[in-house]
Amino acid sequence: MADAPKIRVPKTAKKGEIVEIKTLMPHIMESGQRKDKDGKTIPRKIINKFVAEFNGKPLFSADMDPAIAANPYLQFSAKVNESGTFKFTWTDDDGTVTTSEQKIEVA
């Protein structure tokens, strides 16, 4: 079982409030630079892309490179004007796409 992403989004916010969002994706982030005991290169396996959306509209996306440490953690802010759903997407080198959603109530 792969570990699920860990997300922290406030449940509620005031209209126009800037909220803090934390995301963490459990992942080995194997850089492709390391060698195993026999001197063979360990193949690269990283999360290469992260996308954050709100109500279907992109907030931002980030390309990740091999220097990012294991379990990539991204913390960012977003201004919310309406209730809705944050959607986060992580893309693995092997094509696996993991998504996670979190609702926020805006009063």
Partner 1 sequence: MRAGIWTAGAVAIVVLATGVMTLAPANSQAKKEAPLVTDGDAAARPWKRYNGWPARDYSKFNTLANLASPPAPKEPRKIAGPIEGDAKKGAQLVADRNRGGSCLACHVMGPAGGANLPGNVAPDLSEIGNAGREDEWLFNYVYDGRVYNPETVMPPWGTHGLFTDDEIKDIVAFLKTLKAPAVFKTALDNPDKRAAPVEKRENLDPLENPGMWTVDKAQELWKQAGSKGAACVTCHATPETQFKSWAASMPKWEPRVGKVLGVEEFVTRHAKATTGADWLMETDDNRAMSVYLHFLANGEPIKVDVASAGAKAAWERGKELSARKVGQLNFACTDCHGISANKWIRGQWLGEPKGQYDHFPTWRTSLQAVWDIRQRFQWCSVNIRGDELPPDAKEYGDIELYLASQNEGLKLSVPGIRH
The binding site for partner 1 (CB under 8 A) comprises 1, 3-4, 6, 8, 22, 24, 26, 70-71, 73
DSSP for 7-54 reads EE--SEE-TTEEEEEEEE-----B-S--B-TTSPBPPPB-EEEEEEEE
Nearer to partner 1, 2 or 97 (CB): 2
Nearer to partner 1, 1 or 18 (CB): 1
**C-alpha to C-alpha distances, 6 to 37, 101, 107, nearest whole angstrom:** 33, 11, 25
Nearer to partner 1, 39 or 95 (CB): 39
Q: Tell how far CA 57 is from the center of its chain.
A: 16
Q: How far is the CB of 3 from partner 1 (least distance, A)?
A: 5
Q: How far is the CB of 2 from partner 1 (least distance, A)?
A: 10
Q: How far is the CB of 81 from partner 1 (least distance, A)?
A: 26
